Structure 1
């Protein structure tokens, strides 16, 4: 719609709700534009993958935040390490010349072994916008359990490949409720600074934020928050801010300003590939096997552990099964991956001495999403940086912290979008279903209601103040809340319960958990900095005492 046409419609009594309907239709068309091609990077050669019969001092299952911390520090201590990664290495461009797919044009690279996308914002005006794609070992896993979909990164670098990059250290006064057995002073004096340095965390230049077109949406969120009496806080990220300024100036290929976020970021984001994994490579002591999946860990007769690993192709089919021996095994497959594997190993008798806390204490970090339909005088901008950099803090009063998130569609939507993290107290457990041979999660969608109530302490007040309404077309037909998912799975092998206070699994010497499974369900903010800092703390102790 042209500006003049918009003006004519407005002068003829064109309603705000009708305009929202119109922009929703355009947005749906924009998101559906183009066919879902079979763009696929060529899988990297598997020549360096772990051979069957290998005997390794340390095996790390997973290449996300915890796994990378463990591998780097072990290698620096002189230990040879092998890392096992279920996903791809993501180092080879596809036919379009880019490694990662764009958010608005998902193709085979976008989802893990699905034949249809399952996008977090799946609807506009109640109409589904998911599309058919070729089955492939893509980067984003939308893993469906009975009551929730859990989004996880698949590839060397884990969740760092697909998250929004918000690198938040919890407020010091909140930490005791997160990990009560961990020394607060040590975390804030040593391990959080170490994690932030290792991850390359930085905060946006406030003066640039105030003037750049690409954060108009966040400035609208700030204005609405402050007018309703809520603090708006800048949030550190792992994006290269100098690069983003060059994007805005047209001097470099666009990345955040091209909407890249859900399915990887080609240029500006400092994922683990550019930080911990680069340093890991420099040690010369770490090898990584991608497209490999650990299926069994059992005590070996001569000491250490026998580990069975399936090598797969890009269709997900097993092409080779390998057996290796590891003196020590670090579980770092993410909260869901680690929990599922440990629950299965205990239930099937592979590791029967694991205690009854395995699989317990799982939570969604209180995630819930919503959108606000703004007035025409509050445009959020057609150019939106895909990296969130601010939030609304009502944690102490209402139990919610809300990211002011982007809707990087390339058109004006007059919509504000938010991902809230809340104090949701509900916790689920993973359990083994012998009949189906699968691990199940007992989360119930109704358990999201506390998160909705806490998020409403922010957005009901903003709507009342601004005279605005909730969007009802983002998650279904007349559905306000995105209560069907989490980006932040936590727990399942909780510190001091399933493990000791440093991640050593009860029942077995030489088995460790070193990822988000250690954290009982909530961090009060985006969790990856806490996962990294806790891993730095734990591996330092393990190296000093166990090696």
Structure 2
């Protein structure tokens, strides 16, 4: 067994301290060793249009600008209906002091995290050193929201989770779809709505001939070799990153983005986030307005079948600068699994929306997320240059209940390590509940509930380690800790389709209220979820426009 990164001197003669200081980031998570150096927060982005006014009336209010909300806004606007979108995060349309909109992952600053004074990186340690650092409090792009048993990572800003994910645009295998959304017609999804979603998102595939030879995917080719030598299928998956641009990055003819490790703190060039796809099309209709740095605090019935919506406007320090009350004919909840669930649970418990049923807040899951790293031999270098956008995974879902994304470790130097984010068949589901004592919403998840995910991931990596004579990394998530079992990137559920809502997202008990985001999906999609969230939103909004409007 050999892991040069765990010895006093690596293969290039770097000292242990020198190695970690030279390490910029892991999995594009902004891991920086020299903690404590705060970077001034950039100037606030200026909204492209005037924010919503106190006392305004809108035909449709959409809470959130992620996948579901963006689909709803576009299709409603195309049907001739005016829409106003409310977004808690920033617009992300103005550059900071460094001339770029988004912070580089190797040097997190205030733009990187949502209202924190210290980073909370999923990989908290490296080579025995803690690697979180002080930053200015600012309305940054990545929220690490802590509950009692789990940290949920979410995107904050116009575009939601599309701003901060790895872009893996995976459609679930058809044979698995019945476990994902049992009340939805699979023929319609695979015949109409998945294709529509993939087209709308700008999904494309890596050029396999280029992939086979480029330095930046050497890490993935090592992952393929190890998977196949142990008998596991290795599958390529599409992405929303512009792979033709990545080719030019590798050739040195355009500014680097994926090859600069950009991922979780935003992407400055070639990733097709919702800002560039659904939201751009929606704004182009002239019927969609967006108010960034606004947070919905209440929705309640009003006269004439309308709804009164209370909204706080905030500044980049998170302080409330104005409170507004508007009315809407219809309201779409699209604040993400956590945001929508928390708001609905609060509104039900406090009596603002008493007609909501007992399923509100239930059926929440983490998409079976668990992370791990493996220490490879000296003869299996994974490359000092690694594209931050993953292209493939190991599929052991049928036999072992795990799909493992072969993830990058874009440190800028050779690590001889392979890293993975696994999506697993974890049956555990949590519930959100209102805590009257604290005035907040709690989540019942327990860290111990990650054990089925660990067991599923082990069906892949125990076998690979045995075959290759390698070991797990134990320095990434703490001291002598193998598994990243404390987090999720893929929150799902809390307002489950055909339970908390009808079979197209209409909330029970309150006509004119809809859910259209990942909270509809009961906890697991078997793969990365955003294509399924988008396709389901396409299905639901088509029905709602046809029958309700």
For the criterion TM > 0.5, the same-fold answer is yes
Give the Cα–Cα distance (whole angstroms) in 2 for the partners of residues 25 and 139 of structure 1: 30
Counterpart for residue 306 of structure 2: 304
Residues 21 and 125 of structure 1 are in contact (CA less than 8 Å); yes or no, is this contact kept in structure 2? no
Partner residue, 1:536: 538
Counterpart in the other structure of 1:32? 33
Shift of 1:302: 2.9
Deviation at 1:102, TM superposition (A): 1.1
Measured in 2, the distance between the counterparts of 1:423 and 1:336 equals 20
Q: Does 1:16 align with 2:31?
A: no
1:56-101 residue CA offsets vs partner (Å, 9 max, x unmatched):
0000000000000000000000000000000000000001111001
Q: Check 1:131–1:231 CA distance in 2 against 1; reply closer, same or farther (3 A cut).
A: same
* Distance change (3 Å), C-alpha of 1:138 and 1:19: closer
Task: Provide the rounded CA distance (Å) in 2 between the counterparts of 1:427 and 1:28.
Answer: 38
Alignment of 1:219 with 2:221, yes or no, is yes
Who is 1:451 aligned against? 453
Show the counterpart of 2:71: 69
Structure 2 partner of 1:105:
107
CA positional deviation for 1:443: 0.2
Superimposed CA distance per residue, residues 255-274 of structure 1 (whole angstroms, 9 cap, x where no aligned partner): 00000001000001000011
- Which residue in 2 is equivalent to 1:12? none
Tell me, in whole angstroms, the C-alpha distance in 2 between the residues paired with 1:500 and 1:536: 16
Deviations 1:391-420 (A, max 9, x none): 000000000000000011101000000000
Is the contact made by 1:339 and 1:430 (CA closer than 8 Å) also made in structure 2?
yes
Rounded Cα–Cα distance in structure 2 between residues aligned with 1:387 and 1:18: 25
In 2, are the aligned partners of 1:125 and 1:476 still within 8 Å (CA)? no
Question: 1:39·1:96 contact (CA, 8 Å) conserved in 2?
Answer: no
Which consecutive segments of 4 or more residues in structure 1 shift more than 2 A? Answer: 15-28, 30-36
Matched, 1:463 2:465: yes
With 300-309 and 455-464 compared, the bigger mean Cα shift is at 300-309
* Match in the other structure for 2:424: 422
Question: 5 Å matches for 1:280-291?
Answer: 280-291=282-293
Aligned to 1:239: 241
Q: Any stretches of 5+ residues in structure 1 without a counterpart?
A: 1-14
Query: Does residue 198 of structure 1 match 2:196?
Result: no
> Could you give the per-residue CA deviations for residues 162-188 of structure 1, whole angstroms, max 9, x where no partner exists?
000000000000001110110000000
2:402 to 395, 400, 421: 400
User: In structure 1, what is the equivalent of residue 475 of structure 2?
Assistant: 473
Instruction: Identify the residue that residue 512 of structure 2 maps to in structure 1.
Output: 510
Alignment RMSD, CA only? 1.2
Aligned position for 1:349 = 351
Equivalent-residue separation in structure 2 for 1:206 and 1:385 (angstroms) = 14
Query: TM-score, normalised on structure 1?
Result: 0.96
Change (3 A) 1:331 1:21: farther
Q: CA deviation at 1:45?
A: 4.6
Q: In 2, Cα distance between the equivalents of 1:292 and 1:19?
A: 45
Report the CA distance between 1:125 and its aligned residue.
2.2
Q: In 2, are the aligned partners of 1:204 and 1:236 still within 8 Å (CA)? A: yes
Partners of 2:179 and 2:19 in 1: CA distance:
41
| TM score, norm. by length of structure 2 | 0.96
1:133 aligns with 2:135: yes
3-state secondary structure, aligned to 1:450: helix
1:36: Cα distance to partner? 3.2
Count of matched residue pairs: 533
Which is worse superposed, 29-38 or 340-349?
Answer: 29-38
